[in-house]
Amino acid sequence: MHTKIIAVLILILCNSIGNAQDSVYIGSLKDAVSLALKRNVDVLNSTVDINSKRSHYVETVSDVLPQIKAGGKGIDNFISPTTVVPAEYFGGAPGSVRALKMGMPYNINAVIQAKQTIFDQAAFISIRSSKSAVELSHTTLEKTKEDIAVQVAYDYFNILLCSKQRDFLKKQLESQRRLLSIAQTQFNTGVLKKNDLSRIRVNLINTQTELQQFENQIEQQTSDLALLLALAPGQTVVITDSISESPLFSGGPEKFAVSDRPDWRILDLQIQLKKLDIKYGKAGYLPALSLTGAINQDFYGADFKRFDSDWYTSSFMAVTLDIPLFDGLKRKAQIDQAHFELEKLNNRQSFLNEKSEKEIHDAQSNLAYSVSRMNSQKSNLELGSEVYGETAAEYKAGSASLSDLMNAENALLQSERQYLSAIEEKVLAEISLRKAQGVLLKKIGVD
């Protein structure tokens, strides 16, 4: 018997440990965002893209650095090549020819060659473009992090709000069950009509249904958050935080500059890159100058017995000048296309300036309205709770009707919904405002 009890206790303990290992506890929005940014696949890929752009920058720079290479070849002329010359060179009849075997059976060549770009405007502009591309990938990573932070914040606070609503419904359900018990006793004694008892049961069932809806909603939102956090299969999120009417972020209003927004900086860098594309196209009309030099060592012999001698040295240095003359207007068409793309980017940037101002104005207005509404709804909730408590006491004492009690209960439920709705509006407005200002990650406290 004792053995069975110990086995059961061990099983319960193991299950508890297993469940604890499958749960990830989150105590704040900062913890959730930090975890998401460490594991999210979009952040990881953006980081890889930065490394790729850096490698491309090194590759571009290498085009204007000295290019040095060494090589060689060995030839075995087992059938020497034949050259035909006029026979009269050797005393033969005019017009006749003579075949001669030319060359040695063995030939070895070794060479070291170096090339240095002296002037190539297109190559220099490519280096600047590659450097700007690295900066663009960094800014894109910031934008990716901000987008993920917004998604995490929405899911995070939705879970907290739904949990708060669920807890309120649980309390309401307990109150309704107590009321049903009292009503059942009154019905059994003939004090309460069956119709009134049925109304209480209907309200209780409705509350149970609504509570189940919130349970399902919390489960779905928790699953969405777990996906954003890139948790392992089977792991669940447990949020130990709570939500209130207090401001989400500390500090006063931010001084707004549209250039703080990652999406604006991405556009600005894209404009810079497009301008460099135009310069690159124009640089194609300019000449390119390079310097090349080489040292050769050649061996010729009838066999390899004298391989240590009979080497002949030669070297050269050349300056190469490439001057483009006419390419069928291809480069001009490419430059024109880049100008059109630049015009589109400028238009998008102008629109973003106006859009940013509007987003901030709307978020500020929504925040001010939601704070005012939240304070009003909080007062209504406190009043509703007071009225419901008094009505419930009067109903027990027999001085209030069931209709009065149920009306007070419905008013309390409505006040609770309105209060939580106002908190939700305030939370969304705070997140939207910081996002519009481009300071959300800074406010959360995540780099």
For the chain, domain boundaries = 24-64+120-286+326-441
Q: For domain 24-64+120-286+326-441, is the CATH number 1.20.1600.10?
A: yes
Cβ(47)–Cβ(134) below 8 Å? no
Average confidence (pLDDT) over 260-266: 91
Predicted confidence at residue 216, as pLDDT, reads 95
Task: Choose among 430, 344, 447, 378: nearest CA to 153.
Answer: 430
258-to-384, 438, 445 alpha-carbon distances in Å: 45, 8, 21
pLDDT digits (tens, 9 = 90+) for 202-246: 988 998 999 999 999 999 999 999 999 988 888 888 999 888 788
Residues near 419 by beta carbon (within 8 Å), at least 6 away in sequence: 374, 377, 378, 380, 381
Amino acid letter, 445: G
Least confident window among 121-135, 305-319, 347-361: 305-319
Tell me the pLDDT band of 252, cut-offs 50, 70 and 90: low
Task: Choose among 135, 138, 148: nearest CA to 35.
Answer: 148
CA 359/CA 260 separation, integer angstroms: 14
- Structural tokens at position 148: 């993920």
Quote the pTM value. 0.80
Average confidence (pLDDT) over 178-190: 83
Please check the confidence at residue 25 and state whether its pLDDT lies above 60: yes
Q: Scan for tokens 């124009």, then name that residue.
A: 282
pLDDT digits (tens, 9 = 90+) for 364-414: 899 999 999 999 999 999 999 899 889 888 877 878 887 888 888 888 888
Average confidence (pLDDT) over 71-98: 84
The whole-chain average pLDDT of the chain stands at 87
CA 399/CA 438 separation, integer angstroms: 59
Least confident window among 28-32, 50-54, 400-404: 400-404
pLDDT higher for 22 or 326? 326
Predicted confidence at residue 12, as pLDDT, reads 44
pLDDT higher for 293 or 77? 293
Please check the confidence at residue 258 and state whether its pLDDT lies above 60: yes
Cβ(428)–Cβ(363) below 8 Å? no
